[in-house]
Amino acid sequence: MSATATPKLVFLDIDGTLADERHVVPQSAQDACRQAQRNGHKLFISTGRSLPKIEHSILDLGFDGVVSVAGAQANIGDRVLFQHFVSPEDIDRTNEYFRRHGIENYQWQGADGMYISRGYLRHLQETKGSVWNAGEFARYWHVMDEIEVPEGSTLGHMIRASKGSYFSGPNPDVTFEDVRRDMSPWFQLVHGSYDKISPNNGELLINGVDKGTAVRDVARLLGYDIADTIAIGDSDNDAAMLKAAGTSVAMGNAVHGIEEFCDMQTTDIHDDGIANAFRMLGLI
């Protein structure tokens, strides 16, 4: 056992926390995670991505579990601890809202894959070229306009999704705050990971379901006191998780001011951020 005698349940965001902008987990973070597990602590990935959108190179590092789609699903291996879905009606009304306001880049994510708009497809083709649907993710991409909808049904009924996300063009007729207000009856809107592409971007989370509720639910199901949970993140979409955990850590590269309410701040992801956090916490 480590310097921290009580076993801890640790939740790690992926992008900007565990993995860098190239989706690579630094060797120091890999070593720290393995040592913490040897010391008796359990480590969960906690990401806004759906399971099909997590690289095998990350999953194969051997985490004890995965919280995905921003807290809507949790797995230990193939065992599903819980799973929440966006209602078909909420998918349909949101797609119509985006069309009405000229927001062309949006997607829905769930355990079955990623359902994308034509605009998001163009974004992928422009940024990733012909390899956008190659490799391990290929079979999980679905273009919504190409999904066959039976007569009397709607697209929303053809999609199993647990989270939505979007980013707008340079001159949208609605701001982030407008979208958050308009979507509030159905979703909680938080800043997403598209800041470098557009300042007006967000993740649509099922009301009452987020990374924070996942921390509490996983801890309860596994028999951990909330005081023995730790969360580490870097951005606004980690806020609920950081606020729910017994101890919260902001990365040195944190954005959206989350470091202001965290218990401590570690170094940048490129400066052994996870390893240094684990040392500060006594996990290794």
3-state secondary structure of 81: strand
Nearest one of 8, 9, 7, 11 to 210, comparing CA atoms:
11
- Which helix or strand (DSSP H or E) is residue 220 part of? helix 211-222
Angle at CA of residue 172, ends 168 and 173, nearest 5°: 140
Q: For 30-59, what is each residue's pLDDT tens digit? A: 999 999 999 999 999 999 999 999 999 999
Q: For 155-184, what is each residue's pLDDT tens digit? A: 999 999 999 999 998 888 999 999 999 999
Distance CA 280, CA 284 (A): 9
Name the β-bridge partners of 107: 116, 165
- Same domain as 161, residue 263: no
CB 120 within 8 A of CB 177: no
Which of 124-138, 181-195, 253-267: highest mean pLDDT? 253-267
Distance CA 189, CA 195 (A): 14
pLDDT of residue 33: 98
Number of domains observed in the structure of the chain: 2
Q: Which two tokens stand for residue 60?
A: 């194969």
Q: φ, ψ for residue 164 (rounded to 5)?
A: -115, 165
Can you give the residue range of the structural domain that contains 109? 88-206
CB 198 within 8 A of CB 168: yes
Nearest one of 186, 273, 275, 231 to 71, comparing CA atoms:
231
pLDDT of residue 3: 58
Q: Which residue has the tokens 């007569």?
A: 151
Q: For 117-127, what is each residue's pLDDT tens digit? A: 999 999 999 98
Please check whether residue 40 lies inside any domain of the structure: yes
CB count within 10 Å of CB 226 equals 13
pLDDT band with cut points at 50, 70 and 90 for residue 137: confident
**What is residue 198's DSSP assignment?**
-
pLDDT of residue 134: 78
- Same domain as 202, residue 96: yes
3-state secondary structure of 15: strand
Domain end marker among 206, 229, 256? 206
Q: What is the CATH number of the domain that holds 182?
A: 3.30.1240.10
- Same domain as 98, residue 201: yes
Q: Which two tokens stand for residue 252?
A: 């040195």
Instruction: List all residues 6 or more positions away from 172 whose beta carbon is below 8 Å from its beta carbon.
Output: 101, 102, 103, 200
What is the amino acid identity at position 102? G
Half-sphere exposure of 102 (CA within 13 A, CB side): 8
Distance CA 53, CA 198 (A): 21
pTM for the whole thing? 0.91
Please check whether residue 2 lies inside any domain of the structure: no
- Same domain as 119, residue 260: no
